[in-house]
């Protein structure tokens, strides 16, 4: 499963800029729909396209591994 680290990136940006960053602000500045951002933040296992990830990496000034990580699926019975 892919886990998005959007909340962590928002927190880092808030700390760097010493101000609150809203989802609406991220949406307007990145060009990513607010509903899509909300789903990334709140829906476990949400799937999105590479264009969205590209926009978010550009907005946060980060690499893809800073925004998403792969977590093994333990339900398959494999260790």
| 76 within domain boundaries | no
Higher pLDDT, 36 or 1: 36
| 18 within domain boundaries | yes
Is the pLDDT at 76 greater than 60? The verdict is no
Residue 60: Cβ within 10 Å count: 20
What is the residue-averaged pLDDT of the chain?
92
> Per-residue confidence at 73, pLDDT binned at 50, 70, 90?
confident
- The pLDDT assigned to 78 comes to 52
- The pLDDT assigned to 75 comes to 62
Number of structural domains (the chain) is 1
| 63 within domain boundaries | yes
Q: How far apart are CA 61 and CA 57, in angstroms?
A: 6
CATH for 60 = 1.10.260.40
| 47 within domain boundaries | yes
- pTM score, two decimals? 0.85
As given in the structure block, the two tokens for residue 17 are 């800029």
Q: How far apart are CA 1 and CA 47, in angstroms?
A: 10
């Amino acid at each position: 499963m892919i886990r998005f680290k959007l909340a962590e990136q928002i927190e880092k940006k808030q700390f760097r800029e010493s101000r609150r960053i809203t989802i609406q602000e991220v949406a307007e500045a990145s060009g990513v729909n607010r509903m899509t951002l909300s789903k990334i933040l709140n829906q476990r296992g949400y799937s999105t396209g590479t264009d969205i990830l590209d926009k978010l990496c550009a907005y946060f000034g980060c690499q893809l591994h800073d925004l998403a990580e792969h977590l093994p699926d333990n339900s398959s019975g494999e260790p």
